[in-house]
Amino acid sequence: TARTGTEINKNIIRKKVYLRGFSASNLKAYTRMFFKDEGCRTLVLNQLEANPNLCSLCSVPLFCWIIFKCFDHFHSTFDSHEFSDITVTLTDVFLLMTEVHLNRTQKTNLLKKNTRSQIETYKTNKNILFSLSKIAHRGMQKSLFVFDQDEVLIDISEQDLHLGFLRAVPGYGRCSNQFSYEFLHLILQSFFTALFLVMEKKVGAKELLHFFTECSTIDTSLSDCLPINWLKNHHSTGEDPFRNNEHFHFTNLFLCGLLSKAKHKLLRHLVSSASLKKKRKVLLAYFSVSMKSHLKGLIRARLKEYKQ
């Protein structure tokens, strides 16, 4: 399992194995295999190098394939000149992946490509998205990643389960005759948690910044509130690689992405523009204060040619 907080009885398993996934050389080799066009391949590698959070996910082969399929989609959508100017973010990837899942509800001919726009897809499925985000947020607050069937069906219908965001986990719940459910991946739960914080009107400043606070209680440095360092090869002595708070980091990343001005055009169909602007202002104010505090804590070099 790759799931934080999932406990396995020691009587069942003899050892835990930490899977490193793709190395840097593996990633380059897979990129060469996936993108035959040299120009496109170079652009993708440049973007991954510039975005450590996106690159870190590519260490997981499945996510690497998903991310590359997204790059392939964007490459086919824009011409070469436009594609070289856009920056593909983690939020872009998960918005597109979510759109693909939502379009499963459309009855289209297998040979006919879906023509529904991303805005239309999200607008049509607003209630489903909010219901999923409620489940994700409720679990994230409690560090809960597996949900009982009754708890899930309070918010979404059995038909909506077939969209593929949640998957059944047999025999996990309290009732042996019922399925439990978990999000397809923990990072998907982080995405929907961030979406809840954006969509829910009642979310105030304190709740909006809750997961930044969760990060800062472990490490107060600003740099650790956002980046994910999966590709670093060292762990401190005694550190358990199976216990981490990366789900909080990813929630923060998605929150920043969803509240960015670039996503305003899409998100305004799910929540009012006034609410988006208000929450963006809270986030920017938090970063401003945190950055000032961080800079004050830096050691200043004592050089004669510079005034302190």
Taking Cα atoms as reference points, which of 39, 199, 194, 180 lies closest to residue 127? 199
Q: Which residue has the tokens 């980091």?
A: 249
∠ CA(205), CA(211), CA(217), 5° rounding? 110
User: What pLDDT does residue 131 have?
Assistant: 95
| Residue 262 C-alpha from the chain's centroid | 17
The mean per-residue pLDDT over the stretch 226-243 comes to 46
Encode pLDDT of 101-157 as tens digits: 998 766 655 445 667 899 999 999 999 999 999 999 999 998 888 898 888 888 888
User: DSSP characters for 145-186?
Assistant: --EEHHHHHTTS-HHHHTTSSEEEEET-SSSTTSEEEEESSH
Structure-derived torsion over alpha carbons of residues 49, 54, 55, 56, reported in degrees to the nearest 10? 140
Whether the Cβ atoms of residue 197 and residue 203 lie closer than 8 Å to each other? yes
Whose CA is closest to 69, among 50, 88, 46? 88
Q: Which two tokens stand for residue 145?
A: 């990643």
Residue 4 is encoded by which pair of tokens? 């934080």
Query: Is 234 a residue whose pLDDT tops 60?
Result: no
Among 132, 275, 149, CA closest to 194: 132
Residue pair 272/200 in contact (Cβ under 8 Å)? The answer is no
Q: Decide which of 177 and 213 is more confident.
A: 213
> 165 and 141 in contact (C-beta within 8 Å)?
no
Contact 294, 221 (CB under 8 A): yes
Residue among 36, 20, 99 at smallest CA distance from 44: 36
Amino acid at 217: T
Beta bridge pairs of residue 147: 181
Instruction: Give yes or no for residue 254 having a pLDDT over 80.
Output: yes
User: If pLDDT is split at 50, 70 and 90, which confidence band does 228 have?
Assistant: very low
> What pTM did the predictor assign?
0.80
- The answer to whether residues 165 and 186 touch, using CB atoms and an 8 Å cutoff, is no
Kindly report each contact of residues 161-165 with a partner whose C-beta sits within 8 Å and lies 24 or more positions away, as own/partner.
162/104, 163/101, 163/102, 163/104, 163/105, 163/128, 164/101, 164/104, 165/98, 165/101, 165/132, 165/192
